[in-house]
Amino acid sequence: MKQSKLEIKRIDDYRWELPKQGGMRVPGKIFADKRLMDDIHLGQSIQQVANVAHLPGILSASLAMPDIHWGYGFPIGGVAAMDAEEGVISPGGVGYDINCGVRFIRTSITRKEIMPKIRELVNSLYNAIPTGVGSSSSLKLTIPEEKRLLTSGAEWAVERGFGTGSDLERIEENGRLKSADPSVLSKRALERGASQIGTLGSGNHFLEIGYIDEIYDEKIADTLGLQLDNVSVIIHTGSRGFGYQVCDDNLKVMMNCVRKYGIELPDRQLACTPIKSDEGRSYFAAMSSAANYAWANRQVIMHWTKKTFYKVLNASPQALQMNLVYDLCHNIAKFEEYEINGKMRKVCVHRKGATRALPPGHPNTPDVYKSVGQPVLIPGDMGRYSYVLIGTEQAVKETFGSTCHGAGRQLSRRQAVKACKGRNIYKELEEQGIIVQSHGRRTVLEEIPEAYKDVKNVVDVVHNAGISKKVARHRPLGVIKG
């Protein structure tokens, strides 16, 4: 690969600037240390940071997190805030898997207590939760019922017995964007969504059993209910085929909008439309529907996960204390308010492979975590570890309340499969104490640990840069994948 030819200036140990060049309306800013930046230089993602800076209405800077890698239009790991009145909205700034996100569950049981049952747990979870490309659920929705789900989000699931009202207090936006409007959706999107609620999917999606192996801030960890050596569960999935179809449908519309509104772009994958246009409002309503679908999806999967734990461990809910810590999204656009040049501005924040990270006391920080800040969940790869962090004031000042979302790929899926030639990945992971069950062998090959950056390096950057703060680390014991 060729190194990027764009001018880049080092600001400090964890920040780099792309000065305004060509048609860039704002500079670019990348969060990375020297080692990560050397790798970032070799890809196309820096050019994508510069491309995003061309979009009409973009404010302050085109931002990139340390897990940045190439994506459709926007880099994955990209953040861009657009003026709510004069800016544009772009599906490429959200992604195909709308509201792909992470749900973190804590328990009161220890690693020692669960180990004799870990293989049975993994197998039972695999049987209970549909996985794989195109997987379908036992929940078959009528179109009217699906529309109710799309309007209500996680609340729809809770009302039908998949969890409790206290779960909603621990989900970003309480698990519902009120701007959802199913009337703007295509027939094909509704068809695809009717049979996939409660399914994990494939690719980098997973459900992981692990335990807390390190705590960095005992006071905050205690508030979150995290204890050293206790079992924890991560659910990582999104809006499935429904969200994909919503994105695909709207990208076709946006291509025409670029011509209609005379928008000049350096890359057609940045196809966009004015936020205030009819097409912009329609996309936001459709995207909100997909976001609600994803929150309902993770809510149902959590319910089935709990039931599986109770059955396999022959234990009561009171004994296991499996409770939701938090659920957040990392592929979404939302209207929020931030101070820019001394004035509060309403903006549309695109977070594509980036998560919200709000501090203690912030109006949008959940009430249950007002004293410590919003939890931030950063999954790694299935062979190493994941992290729980907390949001900070610095993130609000510098990144529109945003931070990284994961480890970030460093090998393409094809390169990962090639690197596995002659290897038994399942055996390698089992020798590390990690049981993996998957729908297909190829998915595991594509998701080998070395396909990703070491998430420790990524998390250390955002921690040291002050845009989020480390609280605890989760290490895997068992994983199910598509």
Q: In this structure, which amino acid lies at residue 317?
A: P
Give catalytic status of residue 362 as yes or no. no
Distance from chain centroid for Cα 447: 16
For residue 316, what are the contacts with CB-CB under 8 A and spacing of at least 6?
310
The single-letter DSSP state of residue 3 is: P
Q: Which residues contact 319 (CB under 8 A, 6 or more apart)?
A: 108, 109
Q: Exposure pattern of 171-202 as b/e (b: 16+ CB <10 Å)?
A: bbbbbbbebbbbebbeeebbebbbbbbbbbbb
Q: Which of 69, 303, 405, 439 is catalytic?
A: 405
Q: Rounded distance, CA 18 to CA 142, Å? A: 50
41 residue type, one letter:
H
Question: Among 93, 94, 99, which Cα is nearest to 175's?
Answer: 99
Q: Tally the C-alpha atoms within 13 A of residue 360's C-alpha that lie toward its C-beta.
A: 5
Place of tokens 């309306």: 25
Cα torsion angle, 436, 440, 446, 447, sign: negative
CA atoms in the 13 A half-sphere facing the CB of 245: 18
Separation between Cα atoms, residue 135 and residue 126, nearest integer Å: 12
Indicate which residues carry an active-site annotation: 405
